[in-house]
């Protein structure tokens, strides 16, 4: 959500920032609504002042026995009370309309966010590792002999439909090991607080992080009104909703491993083979709540936390800064980390780390009290995948595939897997 005062002070700058995203100018519409709302409030306040003044005079007129003046003042009070009610209702309606408009407008990009129209204009900012050379044609994860017993799309489809999978045996254990390794690393080495949050949330939580109202079709809602979270960004960020923290309590850094649910609206025909794009998946999320002066540096820190997971798993990756045309609704700058998948001969997204500025904080009314005194200010929020567990499983399987059909287990995962060194071609740990 945007600061109406900033738009009033510099509407041209607001429109120029939106234009970088390819969005039409809206400041005139916003300011017109704002002007109408403020006019209703001012008229209501003036009418209330007349009521207050007349109310004081009613008693004096009665005491003087001036019946005509008494009745005139009583009539004026009654008339102005109706007027105040009407104007207050108008102001409320204008305020709700203004809020709806502001909530539907994309966040403004930082100056260092690259310009561009789509993913072709993203800018690579880091690359690590060298894709392995295979003396055979590398397969995709669902084609590997080692995964045939552990990836069951057919039974999952019978139970739940398309874009679901049942993991079993060594594959299920590796999936669990990856999540455990990610959490341990973020808690023990990266200083994040492990958190376990609900997967069912109210409208307010989804609205606070920007999923509502604009992206309702991308998520699932239960018949009694709860939403299934698309990511634990929703729950972790909303921990500070409605709070005013002391500056000394910042930054707050959280991590959580959770189920995530997405309808994948608009993705028909995309990544239908394998488990790259699922309706239900697991992710280890990172969320930071920071002082405004430190949020941009926190984005770089968060990005390194995610990159570090891939490096310890010995998975080649590249990091790109998304251009304004490819960046998400609530972000001011985003770093996507793309892991190398030899089966696809391509880099594919495995993490997206974004700084939102005060965009979410305004929606949630999350503030902090400056240590030096002064009025409370809005915090800044960030979120990032650290990492998507299923996609990481795909990357480990494809990068570790061997000519004999087995899959080598990365060194850091072996303690989580009974010190096994590989998943054999028959799907067992060895």
Known catalytic residues? 262, 277, 349, 352, 391
CB atoms within 10 A of CB 377: 16
CA 23 remoteness from chain centre = 20
Those residues whose C-beta lies under 8 Å from the C-beta of residue 429, and which sit 6 or more positions away, are 170, 173, 417, 418, 420, 422, 423
418-427: long-range contacts at Cβ-Cβ below 8 A with a sequence spacing of 24 or more? Answer: 420/170, 423/146, 423/147, 423/150, 423/170, 423/171, 423/174, 424/146, 425/145, 425/146, 426/145, 426/146, 426/149, 427/145, 427/146, 427/147, 427/148, 427/149, 427/150, 427/169, 427/170, 427/171
- Which two three-digit tokens encode residue 326? 């490819």
User: Got the DSSP string for 22-75?
Assistant: TPPP-HHHHHHHHHHHHHHHHHHHHHHHHHHHHHHHHHHHHHHT-HHHHHHHHH
Contact (CB, 8 A) for 396 and 340? no
Q: What are phi and psi of 317, to 5 degrees?
A: -155, 165
Angle at 15 between CA 13 and CA 18, to 5 degrees: 110
Q: Are 350 and 385 within 8 A, CB to CB?
A: yes
Nearest C-alpha neighbor of 122 from the set 314, 375, 328: 328
Among residues 97, 98, 83, which one has the least CA distance to residue 42? 83
Query: Dihedral (C-alpha) 314, 315, 318, 320: value to the nearest 10 degrees?
Result: -110
- Taken in order 213, 218, 223, 228, is the CA torsion positive or negative? negative
Segment holding 321, helix H or strand E: strand 317-321
């Amino acid at each position: 959500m945007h600061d109406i005062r900033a738009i009033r002070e510099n509407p041209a700058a607001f429109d120029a920032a939106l234009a970088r995203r390819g969005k039409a100018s809206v400041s005139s519409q916003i300011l017109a609504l704002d002007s109408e709302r403020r006019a209703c409030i001012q008229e209501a306040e003036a009418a209330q002042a007349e009521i207050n003044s007349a109310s004081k005079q009613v008693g004096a007129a009665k005491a003087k026995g001036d019946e005509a003046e008494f009745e005139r003042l009583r009539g004026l009070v009654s008339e102005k009370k109706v007027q105040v009610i009407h104007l207050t209702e108008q102001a409320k309606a204008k305020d709700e309309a203004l809020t709806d408009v502001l909530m539907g407008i994309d966040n403004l990009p930082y100056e260092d966010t690259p310009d561009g129209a789509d993913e072709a204009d993203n800018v690579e900012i880091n690359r690590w590792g060298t894709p392995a050379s295979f003396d055979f044609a590398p397969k995709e994860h669902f084609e590997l002999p080692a995964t045939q017993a552990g990836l069951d799309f057919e039974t999952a489809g019978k139970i739940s439909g398309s874009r679901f999978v049942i993991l079993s045996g060594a594959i299920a254990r590796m999936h669990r090991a990856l999540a455990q390794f990610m959490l341990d690393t973020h808690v023990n080495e990266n200083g994040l607080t492990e958190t376990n949050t609900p997967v069912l949330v109210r409208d307010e939580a989804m609205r606070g992080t920007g999923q509502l109202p604009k992206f309702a079709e991308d998520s699932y809602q239960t018949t009694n009104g709860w939403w299934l979270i698309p990511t634990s960004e929703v729950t972790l960020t909303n921990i500070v909703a409605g709070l005013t923290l002391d500056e000394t309590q910042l930054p707050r850094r959280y991590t959580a491993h959770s189920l995530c649910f997405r309808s994948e609206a608009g993705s028909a025909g995309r990544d239908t083979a394998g488990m790259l794009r699922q309706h239900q998946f697991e992710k280890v999320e990172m969320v930071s709540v920071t002082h405004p002066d430190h949020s941009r540096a926190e984005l770089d820190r968060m990005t390194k936390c995610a990159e570090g997971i891939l490096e310890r798993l010995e998975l080649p990756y590249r990091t790109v800064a998304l251009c304004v045309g490819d960046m998400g609704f609530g972000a001011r700058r985003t770093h996507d980390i793309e892991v190398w998948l030899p089966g696809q001969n391509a880099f594919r997204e495995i993490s997206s780390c974004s700084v939102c500025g005060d965009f979410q904080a305004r929606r949630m009314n999350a503030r902090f009290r400056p240590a030096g005194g002064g009025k409370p200010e809005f915090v800044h929020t960030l979120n990032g995948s650290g990492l998507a567990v299923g996609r990481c499983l795909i990357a480990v399987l494809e990068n570790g595939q061997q000519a004999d059909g087995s899959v080598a287990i990365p060194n850091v995962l072996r303690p989580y897997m009974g010190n096994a060194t590989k998943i054999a071609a028959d799907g067992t740990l060895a």
